[in-house]
Amino acid sequence: MTTSHSDALVLFGVTGDLAHKMTFPALYAMAKRGILKVPVIGVAFPKWSLERLRKHITDSIKRSGGIDNKPALKHLLSLFSYVSGDYKDPATFTALKRALGNARRPAYYLAIPPSLFETVIKGLGAAKLAQHARVIVEKPFGRDLVSARELNRAALAVFPEDSIFRIDHFLGKEAIMNILYFRFANSFLEPIWNRNYVASVQITMSEDFGVKGRGAFYETAGCLRDVIENHLFQIVALLAMEPPCGRDFGAVQDEKAKVFQAMRSLKSDDLVRGQYAGYRKEPHVAKDSDVETFCALRLFIDSWRWEGVPWYIRAGKYLPETATEVLVELKSPPQKLFADSAPKTGLANYLRFRLSPGSAVALAARVKLPGKEFVGDQRELYLSEEEPGEEPPYERLLSDAMAGDGALFTREDAVEAAWAAVETVLKNHHRVRPYKRKTWGPKQADVLIASDGGWHNPVQSVWVSRKKR
């Protein structure tokens, strides 16, 4: 392991869609802040000239928000060089070694299809380019437990674990980081953050659009693989983990891994899979497709803190809103001292994390209404909101990886434990249930959570109006 900052960044897949949409804008943001000072070497198969690559980068910056700092863009473009070649050809890695020159601690960013991860990693090892280096791998980390283990074995054969940075851009979002901070920076939360006071936890990630022409990809993934096993499970880990012994990334990763290891394996009846009307007519989608565009599940974490508390997770496309939200519902007071203090319908006290759009934390508590009668209403206490100018996820994650800070990345044991929790239902599940567009999924998802009061549906307009006040 090297604790020094990387002295070069190698971007495999530099001509691809991910680099164009995400990586170049992140590098531009780093250049504007003056923190990108090392050579950047693009590697890809097309025989592009350096001039064409620079035009490609400039187009990306224009599309992502415009060029507002010409000196920074000029500096960014000056850092780039280009190596063209087949990832299976040893000559490509020989050319890369020449391009690296005196760099001894490069960071290799694999913005390439997962099927090529192992090929590139082995190529780096064979060319003796891995010593003192780091490798940054994009999700997905496999598509099941077996493939995740194979990928981990291949990576660990070339790089030590603490030099492997598995990117999940969700973890770089300010709102996600705020969960960790809010939990352990506030003493009032710890006494009630357990099975004795928490009735259930809900996590919803909804999108009001479909697969947007990515039918071929979705046919190989589905909602469970695409966002739940990785993005939403990471949120579960932050909410459910024990306090780490320190703020260093190893301590945080230890506690997150324990959550995944304590997850009870899902059974087919714990899962409702849905498919929006018209999905089978999307380009490159099978006419009899059983791939889910919506998924709802009931999860249990068999730990001392969370034994018996249900965690309800759902995600889907063509739902009424685009939003991601967490709702932690507390148990009602043990004695019904006031007629309305333990409502038979509606929510008891709860804590709500709004993760997108915007970022907010709110606490719902009952307050008495004016008058002689002891009658009240539940009101939200608004605690925080997103500040303008926050660091974009990819900028933060690339900066951290090049600095060797693994706090916002996932570790081998956590990746495999998360896949183990869903391994059974990846193969053994009920068929998808159809649902109409702009609804909250199939009715069977409501049955899944009926005993715990039903789903809370995020309403974007409430939070937008609140931010305008």
Show which residues are catalytic. 231
What is the rounded CA–CA span in Å between residue 314 and residue 87?
Answer: 38
* CB 96 within 8 Å of CB 14: no
Whole-angstrom distance, CA of residue 353 vs CA of residue 375: 27
Query: How many Cα atoms are found within 13 Å in the side-chain-facing hemisphere of 194?
Result: 10
Q: Which amino acid is at 214?
A: R
CA atoms within 13 A on the CB side of 255: 19
The position carrying tokens 């915007």 is: 358
Burial of residue 342 (CB within 10 Å: 0-12, 13-18, 19+) is middle
Q: What is the dihedral of CA 59, 214, 411, 159, to 10 degrees?
A: -60
What CA–CA distance (Å, rounded) separates 235 from 238? 5
The DSSP 8-state label assigned to residue 436 in this structure reads: -
Say whether 40 sits in a helix, a strand or coil: strand
Alpha helix positions (H), 339-459: 393-403, 412-427, 444-449
| 218 in Cβ contact with 284 (< 8 Å) | no
**DSSP three-state, residue 312:** strand
DSSP state of 344: S
Which of 155, 113, 202, 118 lies closest to 410, judged by CA? 155
Residue among 161, 166, 96, 84 at smallest CA distance from 126: 96
DSSP assignment letter at 349? S
CB-based contact 94:71 (threshold 8 Å): no
Distance CA(424)–CA(438), nearest Å, equals 30
Tokens of 459: 């309403």
Q: Say how many Å lie between the first and final Cα of the chain, rounded.
A: 50
User: Within 13 A of 330's CA, how many CA atoms are on the CB side?
Assistant: 18
